[in-house]
Amino acid sequence: MSTRLAKQGRLIDRSKQIEFSFNGRKLKGFAGDTLASALLANDQMLVGRSFKYHRPRGLVASGSEEPNALVGLGTGDRFEPNQRATTTELFSGLSAQSQNHWPSLEFDIGEVNSKLFSRFLTAGFYYKMFIHPRPFWKHVYEPFIRQSAGLGKAPNKELKDADTYEHFYFFCDVLVIGGGVAGLQAAKSAAATGAKVLVLEEKSYWGGRTPVDGGMIEGLEAEAWVAKTVAELEAMDNVTLRSRTMGAGVYDHGYILGYERLTDHAPGQGGPRHRMWRIRAAQTVTATGAIERPLSFAGNDVPGVMLAASMRDYVVNWGVTPGKRVLIATNNDDAYRTAIVLHEAGVEVVRLLDTRETGGGDLADRVRALGIRVECGRAIAKVADGKRVTKVAICAQNGEGGAREEVEADAVAMSGGWSPVVHLWSHCGGKLIWDEAQAHFRPDPDRAPTGADGKPFVVTAGTASGPLTLKAVMADAAAAGAKAAEAAGRPAQAVASIATSEVVEAQMEAVWLMPAKADIQLRMKSWLDYQNDVKVSDVQLAAREGYESVEHTKRYTTLGMATDQGKLSNINGLAILADTLGAEIPQVGTTTFRPPYHPISMGAIGGSARGDIFQPLRKTPMYDWHDANGAHWEPVGHWRRPFAYVRSGESVHDAVNREVKNTREKLGLLDASTLGKLIVKGPDAGKFLDMLYTNVMSSLKPGKCRYGLMCSENGFLSDDGVVARIDEDTFLCHTTTGGADRIHAHMEEWLQTEWWDWKVYVANVTEQLAQVAVVGPNARKLLEKLNAQAGGGMDVSKEGLAFMEWKDGEIGGFKARAYRISFSGELSYEIAVAASEGQAFWNALIEAGQEFGVMPYGTETLHILRAEKGFIMIGDETDGTVIPQDLGLHWAISKKKEDFLGKRAQERSHMVDPDRWQLVGLETVDGSVLPDGAYAVGNGLNANGQKNTIGRVTSTYYSATLGRGIAMGLVKHGPKRMGEVIDFPGLDGKIFKAKIVDPVFYDKEGEKQNV
Amino acid sequence: MSKAQSALNGASYAGLAKVEETGLGGMITLRGDFASAGFQAAVKAATGCDVPGVRKIASSEVGAVAWMSPDELLLLVDYAGVDAVVAQISEALAGEHHLAVNVSDARACFAVSGEGAREVIAKVAPVDLAPGQFEAGDFRRTRFAQVAGAFWLDEAGVFHIVCFRSVAVYMYNLLCTSAHPQSKVGVYA
Amino acid sequence: MLILECPYCGVHAEETELHAGGEAHLKRFGPGASDEDFHDYLFMRENPKGVHLERWRHVNGCGKWFHAARCTMTLEVFGTYTAQTSEPPQEIKDKISAKRPGWTWREFSA
């Protein structure tokens, strides 16, 4: 059984007991425990079920490489699935649930199934199983796969994450990822040059695993050296140290993401839970260490089978042991350290099996001296199935697994050698080389990731570079730190020589299968990928079925595709693949390493962008008034505009009808502040606008306004609006609400990149001005009353300010610019005042307008009023494929001008095709409202056997003015078919019959706006 | 009550740093040829300052001038006097290709001050805020999370931020969120 | 995420301050141009593996358009330069040649 030891546990504080729960069971641990160590201390060996076979699974590792111990953490709005027990620091009240089992962790139905059917669940089983019969996919297979996909449960969708998150931008010369002895030494060497250094360590403590492995550095025990070095670094102004912060990914041009977990270990302390560091580093040192590889033997997934070094971690760091009688299997010297640690902790090491016929070096001698039985050339044939280790069958490594001897043990420590953590090196293109001696891939320093200057920007340090002895690690780290600082532009320095203790180790031996010629029964029980349940036999099957590429094999077998991204399985899997294919490992290669190194929270990615700062909302100066007066909001780009002002007891539709009638009959006010307003000034301004608009603007007289259309070079209509000429050199161009920034950018682009010798300046003054459309028969009366109240002001009479004129002056005591323009067909003034005075001006209009029946109106009324007049709306009548000619706007396209943007395109053959759909008005025969976007169908069928379409609805409304539905649409040969009735099928099978009519439904002569 | 109102009426918040909306300020976008003697004289007359260097802000008792782009300056003057200054510049540069326009009301202005000011801004703008990298007199146009803005540091150690008026509420909430009292990063303070 | 130095304001701008504007040095064809020339101007774009000349705008910054010469494969940036030119300046061509001898791009070459 696993248990807490009497002594040991350098990271725990036995004076601070902590209560937590697992599957509802109340358990106790100590401060400094991880959830994993605390579970082991409580003899909770079984921590979850596997993905495919629902096999019982226990802890395999002690760090972020752990594949099995995924739990659901927290409750309610702080619940999060798939959290690793090994990276979860224990805190009081922690609540964890195991995953992927039904009905319970101890008894699981899925496991029964897997025992019966496991031979059918081989590599590629999804592809093979779920393809026939075809109709089963949607109703049977897909729901089944969705039900069983993923390990943990998704959080309750009704609950919002209770925590907050943020980002932080940081810049440094040298970023060191990893706070083990190599990272600390690299930081020290880099910092000595004066470089600005940031060091990230994913765990809560510094020093990595060297304090567990032992050794002397510069005359100090590793742990003491770590403490001293951290203190030295902390005292330096040019160094920043962050623990609980993982280097998550390395991206182009030295962009690195750091994932800081601020409150995971102390929920509820306030402030953000995670902080995403968005780092730009001139150079990055990856001191990310190495991961021990499992051995592939039958039953290597039974709870109690653990990586040898991880078992050592549990003993030394947290004072827990997974067993009382441990069997060790190894192909290298490192596992001997585990034997020594266990022995010193009073745990019986029943046998140490070393696959090497010649055995180990210095450490092996020490282990033998402790009286531990070491057997060379021996291997594990099989660990008996169950919820924990009970019996282990032993055999010769160089055989098929016969002539077994059975040994009683309650835990197994395994070591298949070490692989450097090359992920961060590889994220941005760093290449690897195969190291035959260590049987691992390590970074190739000659093929580093390169940055903006084409030079390497990542350096590895310590075991992440490949060397595994302390002496080599420290030398490599010191060199890496100095090299990175120099590459970041700091002065070159002599590399410090670091004195360390030395242990002579014997050559390791590559072991990819245990025993070497294991039969199929054993291979079917030898796991490569614990989390996705991929076995040696699956990879071999994939190879036999023709999967030669490692990337294909990965996807076919799902090897390495689980949330641990194959940290334990990658090398073992591709070695099996290479062996089966009869190829060399370097020829088979590795799969691609992609960020993040370890899963990170979605919250951290989003940062503070949630709630009221999820997205910027643009508000006009009168926003609060609208909000207080019943505004039903419509998003227009990032702006929020009132759709209608709904009064108590009214529906939105009622409100719109009221606003339409009131504006036609009395007086309406529209907040038009969002309309784009661009000042275009310079000696070449007229020439420039002639290029931008389809019609002539240079001939416009100061004081006058003209409606204009803008097209893209493709000929398509892009924006429209009224241009006012302010003086000889200056124009003010109105754009659509959505067009202000876009058209401003469009103008700057042409001025900066094509006509850079033209003397024109543009300024976007959209937000400088609050603009109000005063619309309706009583509009002039209101303005004249305001002027009378103020004792004078602008002449707004028919003669003083004629239709399509503008004027500066005062209205009601406000400095204003008034335009006699109309988008409604009514008598209308658009009046611009300073944005800061917008609310005061609006208030004055509302107050003085009462006697004239003033009402504000929203965007829906704006749309209906313009549609009744047959005016087009960018985004309704246009969709990026419509040219002005389609809309009957020939009158606004100059024939005299030699050139304008879009002119050449509009001469292309398909642009002058008489079959192009053209704008018409549409009136339903029964007066109902056509569905928006409905298509008209004509005679005949297309190649797919569908009815031919001959047109579509672009705008459709209920017109309160006319008491019926009105619409505009684009119809093939439309203007020639006036009076014809065409069919628009609705979504529910109903056919709408509509008559083609003139698009101007109201006041065809335009008399009302001219009064 | 004055007719003119700033976007947030001087709202303020104290957390890691103090965040304040600083009310209406006079601002003029001035585009023209920086090398022209007439242009330089007009800037001097309006603000008491010489044309600032790239990404710098110059200030005097009369006003300040910030470098916006190779052909654009932002003039900071008294709000009440903006129109007069625009008229004065237009007259002075009558024969020269230029553009001077009042943009005072298009803006919202904020001050971020106190120990945590650098970190509050570094949470939302992709700019190196380390002391030595951004100092008094430096001026930077960038983005604040999802909106465009500009900021500078004055001699008193106060950061000033300018953005469009329509996103004033977003900017204020963004800065207040970044200034949450329990969100200190601890690298600059 | 790329960093490009804006040649106007000197900021080493990360991509989130920038707006990508496609291929550089397009020659505009307008009225009078043949269908083929106009078609190529509108639609035909280089898509090289290697040296590429592009337009970028420092949109969340000084607002200016500029040109960048970079390698689409390694993302190495050879240099950035003014938008007010219809061909890469000699200095930029030299920088590219130093790193990618024998390069060609449309009508330009080492």
pLDDT of residue A726: 98
Question: Which residue from C10, C61, C64 is facing B142, i.e. has the nearest CB?
Answer: C61
Residues of C in contact with B69 (CB under 8 A): 8-9, 62-64
- Determine contact: B68 vs chain A, CB below 8 A: no
Instruction: Indicate whether B92 and B42 sit together in one domain.
Output: yes
Q: Which residue of C has its CA nearest to B145?
A: C16
Q: Which two tokens stand for residue B61?
A: 């008792």
pLDDT confidence of residue A104 = 72
Question: Residue C58: closest CA among chain B residues belongs to which residue?
Answer: B142
Cβ contacts (< 8 Å) between A768 and chain B: which residues? Answer: 101-106
Interval A486-530: pLDDT, tens: 999 999 989 889 999 999 999 999 999 999 999 999 999 999 999
Burial A735-746 (b: 16+ CB within 10 A, else e): bbbbbbbebbbb
Chain B neighbors (3+ CB pairs < 8 Å): A, C
Looking at residue A981, what is its pLDDT?
A: 97
On whether both B111 and B167 belong to a single domain, the answer is: yes
Chains near C with 3+ CB pairs less than 8 A apart are A, B
| Overall average pLDDT of the A540-561 stretch | 91
Please write down the HEC assignment for all residues of A419-482.
EECCHHHHHCCCCEEEECCCCEEEECCCCCCECCCCCECEEECHHHHCCCCHHHHHHHHHHHHH
ipTM higher than the 0.85 cut: yes
Each residue of A410-448: pLDDT tens digit? 999 999 999 999 999 999 999 999 999 999 999 999 999
A174-218 residue pLDDT tens: 999 999 999 999 999 999 999 999 999 999 999 999 999 999 999
Does residue B5 fall inside a structural domain?
A: no
**Residues 6+ away with beta carbon under 8 Å from B132:** none
Using a CB-CB cut-off of 8 Å, the residues of chain C touching A905 are 38, 42
pLDDT for A99 equals 84
Choose, out of B143, B152, B163, B167, the residue to mutate when testing the contact with C (most C CBs < 10 Å). Answer: B143
Does residue B87 sit within a domain? yes
Using DSSP's 3-state secondary structure scheme, residue A49 falls into: strand
Which pLDDT does position A143 carry in this prediction?
A: 67
- The pLDDT of residue A125: 66
**B3, B32, B129 member nearest A840 (Cβ):** B3
CB contact under 8 A, C62 and B141: yes
In whole angstroms, how far apart are CA A924 and each of A145, A631, A871, A921, A968?
Answer: 48, 31, 19, 10, 11
As beta bridge partners, residue A40 has: none
How many independent structural domains does chain B possess?
A: 2
**Distance from C-alpha of B13 to C-alpha of A806, rounded to nearest angstrom:** 43
**Per-residue tokens: A826:** 């009514």
Residue after which a domain boundary falls, among B58, B84, B105: B105
Is B69 in the same domain as B79?
yes
Residues A811, A831: Cα–Cα separation, whole Å? 9
Q: With beta carbons under 8 A apart, name residues in chain C contacting A752.
A: 64-65, 83-84
- CB nearest A713 (choices: C42, C65, C75): C42
pLDDT score at B1: 42
Q: Which two tokens stand for residue C17?
A: 């301050």
Measured in angstroms, the CA of B1 and the nearest CA of chain C are apart by 36
B162 and B92 belong to one structural domain: no
Full 3-state SS string of A715-757: CCEEEEEEEEEEECCEEEEEECCCCHHHHHHHHHHHHHHCCCC
pLDDT at C103 over 90: yes
Nearest residue to A206 via CA among A262, A269, A289: A289
pLDDT along chain B (189 residues), means of 10: 86 98 97 98 98 98 97 97 97 96 98 97 98 97 98 97 98 98 93
Contacts of residue B76, Cβ cutoff 8 Å, sequence gap at least 6: B25, B26, B27, B47, B59, B63, B64, B65, B66
Burial class (CB in 10 A: 0-12, 13-18, 19+), A161: middle
Given B105, B135, B163, the domain boundary residue is B105
Is residue B57 included in any domain, yes or no?
A: yes
Is the Cβ–Cβ distance between A679 and A760 less than 8 Å? Answer: no
**B65, β-bridge pairs:** B58, B75
* Same domain for B41 and B79: yes
The one-letter amino acid code at C72 reads T
Dihedral angle sign, alpha carbons of residues A644, A648, A650, A654:
negative
pLDDT at A956 over 80: yes
Nearest CA in chain B to C6: B69
The span from the CA of A331 to the CA of A377, in Å, is 9
- Residue A150 pLDDT > 60: no
Asked if B27 contacts B74 with a C-beta cutoff of 8 angstroms, the reply is yes
Q: Rg for chain A (alpha carbons), in Å? A: 38
Query: Shortest Cα distance from A480 to chain C (angstroms)?
Result: 23
CATH number at residue B95: 3.30.70.1520
In this complex, do B106 and A835 lie within 8 Å of one another by their Cβ atoms? Answer: yes
Q: What is the CATH number for B163?
A: 3.30.1360.120
Quote the minimal CA–CA distance from A256 to chain C in Å.
9
Q: Which domain holds residue C34?
A: 3-109
**Do residues A174 and A283 make contact, with C-beta atoms less than 8 angstroms apart?**
yes
Nearest-angstrom CA–CA distance, A263 and A267: 5
Q: Is the pLDDT of residue A120 over 80?
A: no
Does B176 fall in a domain? yes
For position A1, what pLDDT does the model report?
Answer: 85
CATH number at C85 reads: 3.30.2270.10
In terms of domains, do B99 and B31 share one? yes
Is there a single domain that holds both residue B111 and residue B79? no
Q: How far apart are CA A120 and CA A52, in angstroms?
A: 11
In a shared domain, residues B101 and B114: no
Residues B155 and B64 in one domain: no
Looking at the fold, whether B163 and B113 belong to one and the same domain comes out as yes
**Between β-strands A80-84 and C108-109, what pairing exists: parallel, antiparallel or unpaired?**
unpaired
Whether A753 sits inside 8 A of C33 (CB atoms) is no
Cis amide bond preceding A515, omega within 30: yes
Q: Kindly report the number of other CB atoms within 10 A of residue A864's CB atom.
A: 26
Convert the pLDDT of each residue in A334-347 to its tens digit: 999 999 999 999 99
**Cβ atoms of residues A708 and A723 within 8 Å:** yes
**A769 contacts in B (CB within 8 Å)?**
105
What pLDDT was estimated at residue A562? 86
The closest CB to that of C30, out of A253, A748, A899, belongs to: A899
Binding-face residues of B in 74-133 toward A, CB within 8 A = 97-99, 101-107, 119, 122-130, 133
| Contact yes or no for A255/A276 (Cβ under 8 A) | no
**Residue A386 pLDDT > 50, yes or no?**
yes
What DSSP assignment string belongs to B32-48?
A: S-TT-HHHHHHHHHHHS
Whether residues A452 and C3 touch (CB distance < 8 A) is answered with yes
Predicted local distance difference test score (pLDDT) of residue A115 = 63
- Residue A155 reports pLDDT greater than 90: no
Residues of B in contact with A612 (CB under 8 A): 169-170, 173
Q: Is A170 on the interface with C (CB under 8 A)?
A: no
- Going by their DSSP bridges, the two strands A56-57 and A70-73 should be labelled as unpaired
Same domain (yes/no): B177, B160: yes
Q: Does the pLDDT value for residue A951 go beyond 90?
A: yes
Phi, psi of A833 (to 5 degrees): -130, 170
A227-241, A554-568, A824-838: the lowest-pLDDT one: A554-568
| Contacting residues of B for A240, CB less than 8 Å apart | 187
What is the Cα–Cα distance from C95 to A378, expressed in whole angstroms?
62
Q: Give the separation between CA A825 and CA A847, rounded to whole angstroms.
A: 25
Report pLDDT digits (tens) over A845-858. 999 999 999 999 99
Contact A325, A409 (CB under 8 A): yes
Chain B interface includes C8 (CB < 8 A): yes
With vertex at residue A676, the alpha carbon angle to CA A672 and CA A677, rounded to the nearest 5 degrees, is 105
Q: What local confidence, expressed as pLDDT, does residue A111 receive?
A: 67
**pTM for this entry:** 0.95
Q: What Å distances lie between residue A57 and A51, A119, B14, B97, CA to CA? A: 10, 20, 51, 77
Using an 8 Å Cβ cutoff, are A783 and A774 in contact?
Answer: yes
Interchain pair B69, C11: CB under 8 A: no
Q: Is residue B82 part of a domain?
A: yes
The per-residue pLDDT of chain A, averaged, comes to: 94
**What per-residue confidence (pLDDT) applies to A590?**
87
**Chain A neighbours, 3+ Cβ pairs < 8 A:** B, C
Q: What is the pLDDT of residue A103?
A: 64
Within an 8 Å CB–CB cutoff, is residue A253 touching chain C? yes
- Test the C interface: residue of A690, A753, A898, A908 with most C CBs within 10 Å: A753
Give the DSSP H or E segment for A547.
Answer: none
C-alpha span between A472 and A460 (Å, rounded): 13
Instruction: Give a yes or no: residue B189 inside a domain.
Output: no
Last residue of a domain, one of B62, B88, B105: B105
Q: Domain range holding B81?
A: 26-105
Question: Residue type for B102, please?
Answer: N
**Count of structural domains within chain C:** 1
Q: Are residues B16 and B33 in the same domain?
A: no
Asked if residue B116 belongs to a domain, the reply is yes
Summarize pLDDT for A722-763 with one digit per residue, the tens: 999 999 999 999 999 999 999 999 999 999 999 999 999 999
Q: Is the pLDDT of residue A135 over 90?
A: no
